[in-house]
Structure formats: C-alpha cells, structure tokens
Amino acid sequence: MLDTLVDFDNHEVLVLRDQNDVTSGVVIKTSIQKLAFERWGETLCIDWTYGTNNLGFHLGILLVTSATGRGVPVLDFIALDEKMQTMEAILEFFKRKNKQWSEVETFVIDKDFKEWRGWRNAFPRRRCCCVSFIQWRTGERLSSGQSTVYSAFSEM
C-alpha cells in the first residue's frame, strides 16, 4: 500500500525502523498536505491519539490552522513510541520535504516535554507553546529560553 502511495505525484512516505529492522513507525505526507502547509504554515500543532489499534501504535498528526480557524493535517504518522528520537526523525522528515519549514513561527504541543525537546532540537530558533488541557492557572506563564509554557483550560 505504501509503495502505491509513493507512486502518486508528490506524495512522500517514511518508514521508521529500529536497530533490529522492525518497523517502529510510518510517516505519510500527501500532495494536498504539502499545499496546506505552504498556505498556512506559520503555526504547527501536534496531537496524538492512543488506543486506536491492537498493535500498540500511537496515531499522530501535525496540523496547521487554516484561514477559517480549523485544523488541517499536514503530516500523518503512527509510531510505537513518542521518544525524543522518534519525534526528531518525524520532524526531520517534515523539514526535508517542506522547503518553507523555515517560515514556521510557533509550535503548539499539548502535554509532553519529550515533544518539546523534539521540537527544540529540530527547530532550535522557534517558539514552542505547551498547552495543558488538564489544569488551568489563569495567567501562569513559565519561561525557559526561547520557549514558553502556558497552562490553559480548567480542571473539569
């Protein structure tokens, strides 16, 4: 299936393998996703979904915000883990396949400092906002170098 996808014009696929040559992730970028990034790529958001399959893979997505405020996927991936090395491999693939990556101004992540380190290593001079969906401390703002952590949303 992945071979067929790559045969289409301007689609890209990366298969991540561990040291034992076992597939540990798959990253897919379509030509439509490339156009969306070219048009709305100033801010990138990442989101992960858990428990969606019986193989233990996590489903991830990299999004931009369209002119109407809706999230538009610009990269889809599945991975066995969310380790920093996995994040860096995914983000380096994204950079190689998108010439306009240097125009990204802000990254938004939803929880994990592994994601934060992955962003910081792949895009060292960009701002990263971490939004916590679990607690809200109005006005709380922690600063660390070029990145800022914002706590948002209230305990429910």
**Between 103 and 140, the higher pLDDT residue:** 103
pLDDT tens column, 51-96: 777 888 889 999 998 888 888 999 999 998 888 888 889 988 998 8
| Percent with pLDDT over 90 in the chain | 13
pLDDT at 72: 93
What would the CATH number be for the domain defined by 2-151? 3.30.420
Task: Write out pLDDT tens, residues 19-30.
Answer: 899 888 999 998
CA-to-CA distance for 32 and 10, rounded, in angstroms?
9
Q: Which of 31, 28, 48 is nearest to 90 (CA)?
A: 28
Give the HSE-up count for residue 104: Cα atoms under 13 Å, Cβ half-sphere.
30
88, exposed or middle or buried, with CB in 10 Å at 0-12, 13-18, 19+? middle
Sign of the CA dihedral with 79 first, then 97, 36, and 87 last: positive
Which amino acid is present at 138? T
- Per-residue pLDDT band at 133 (split at 50, 70, 90): low
Rg (the chain; Cα; Å)? 16
- What pLDDT is stored for residue 138 in this prediction? 42
Provide the 10 A C-beta neighbour count for residue 124: 9
What would the mean pLDDT of 135-150 be, rounded to a whole number?
43
C-alpha pair distances (Å), 78 with each of 87, 91, 100, 141: 11, 13, 24, 32
Provide the CB-side half-sphere exposure for 124 (13 A, CA).
1
